[in-house]
Amino acid sequence: MNRRRLLASLAAAMFGTAVPAAVSAQAWPDKPIRFVMTAPAGSSIDVIGRTIADKLKDRLGQPVVVENKPAAGGAVAVEETAKSAPDGYTMVLAYNGPLSITPLLRRVPYDVRKDLAPVIITTSQPNVLAVNAQLPAKDVRELVAYAKAHPGKLNYASVGPGSSSHLNGELLKSLAGIDIVHVPFNGSPPAVTSTVQGETQMLFAVMQPLQPQIQAGRLRALAVTSAKRFPLLPDLPTIAESGYPAFESLAWNGVLVRAGTPRAVVDRLNAEINAVLKMPDVVQKMNAAGFDLIGGTPEDFGALIRAESDKWAPVIKAAASGSTRAKRGQPTPRRQGPPARIRRPHADPSPLARPESSASRRPSVLRLFPPSVSRGSGELSDGLSNPVFA
């Protein structure tokens, strides 16, 4: 009898905790969802996020409320999601900066691999190198020649420290041997405004925030950062074909939720956003703005985040030690290896999905960051508690 009571108690305890979790996953969502943006209103992240939110509200039957939290290069938005309840009611649209690069530069109040669960890659595309239209440079070679003739006089804007926008500028500095000054902003709108007004003279950014200013003749697009010409911007040459074959970089973003969110909820979000990314009106709108829609599984996104961290970690480490080596007159070591790959589940292979595997060496970026930043102690943990990142 005692044994039966014990078994009954154990069964009640087991089912008492398991059933509500299953029911909540099946009933999800039953209230509005917060969708936190890592960039300000009007940015490329914001445009993508609001487009997805508008479609999701109809598919999920609940409001999807967009909140812009661009502070600290998007780290604040990621932190809020990492510390939210693991129920799928808070999700973030983030890019490679706060997910793969910033944690390598400084200590951040979250561990991407332990505190967050990837849901889906939304878009991936090259950055565009654009200059103020008054600058006497019609292509990359002329820009480099001008910078060499005026060392330290050109300022380049970025959408934030540790962003692909920032790293692209430093990579060009290293490969071309030019002296240009980094001026970071919180998002693309102020960075573009600064370049239009001439406070900064050049920047790397995705096409969407640049397009109106290029069409108005205030900015001039010089090149894209992909290894091959971008199919959505076929008339723009690559920096690689402009004399710097080792130059290759992509900007990407995706949706994440708090780690521990029920897998059924993650899968539901993944399926619904995949469906949104295939909608003809969404594809047309996003492609016209220069966004290449990706989609895929949570595992695809987890692999991308990890690959991007692995790609940049030795570059940043070399940059941190590069200044010390330079003082001693020692050469900075070079890094080899292909860029992070992005798998495209619902499209034919393309240069974006399957970048050309270049055997050429990519030089370490000397002095990528100020010493106070490059000596940051924050690192991504080697221990992977979240299987999506495996």
Domain containing residue 91: CATH number:
3.40.190.150
DSSP letter at 231? T
Question: Based on the domain organization, do 289 and 386 belong to the same domain?
Answer: yes
Q: How confident is the model at residue 343, as a pLDDT?
A: 52
Q: List the chain pLDDT tens, one digit each, 390 residues.
A: 454 454 444 444 444 444 344 435 578 999 999 999 999 999 999 999 999 999 999 999 999 999 999 999 999 999 999 999 999 999 999 999 999 999 998 899 999 999 999 999 999 999 999 999 999 999 999 999 999 999 999 999 999 888 899 989 988 998 999 999 999 999 999 999 999 999 999 999 999 999 999 999 999 999 999 999 999 999 999 999 999 998 989 999 999 999 999 999 999 999 999 999 999 999 999 999 999 999 999 999 999 999 999 887 876 776 665 544 444 444 444 433 444 555 554 433 322 233 333 333 333 333 344 333 322 223 223 333 355 554
List the CATH number of the domain containing 229.
Answer: 3.40.190.10
Full-model pTM: 0.76
Give the whole-angstrom CA distance, residue 45 versus residue 390.
26
Question: Based on the domain organization, do 95 and 151 belong to the same domain?
Answer: no
Give the whole-angstrom CA distance, residue 189 versus residue 185.
9
Q: How confident is the model at residue 386, as a pLDDT?
A: 54
Q: Is residue 265 part of a domain?
A: yes
Q: At what angle do helices 44-60 and 263-277 cross, to 10 degrees?
A: 110
Q: How confident is the model at residue 355, as a pLDDT?
A: 32
Question: Based on the domain organization, do 287 and 243 belong to the same domain?
Answer: no
Q: How confident is the model at residue 162, as a pLDDT?
A: 85
**56 three-state secondary structure:** helix
Give the whole-angstrom CA distance, residue 269 versus residue 383.
26
The domain of 243 spans 127-249
Question: Based on the domain organization, do 185 and 55 belong to the same domain?
Answer: no
Q: How confident is the model at residue 312, as a pLDDT?
A: 79
Give the whole-angstrom CA distance, residue 203 versus residue 143.
12
Question: Based on the domain organization, do 236 and 172 belong to the same domain?
Answer: yes
Handedness of CA 120, 122, 125, 127 (dihedral sign): negative
Q: Residue 266 has which token pair?
A: 């993650």
Q: How confident is the model at residue 317, as a pLDDT?
A: 74
**What is the number of domains present in the chain?**
2
Give the whole-angstrom CA distance, residue 76 versus residue 93.
12
Amino acid, res. 101 = I
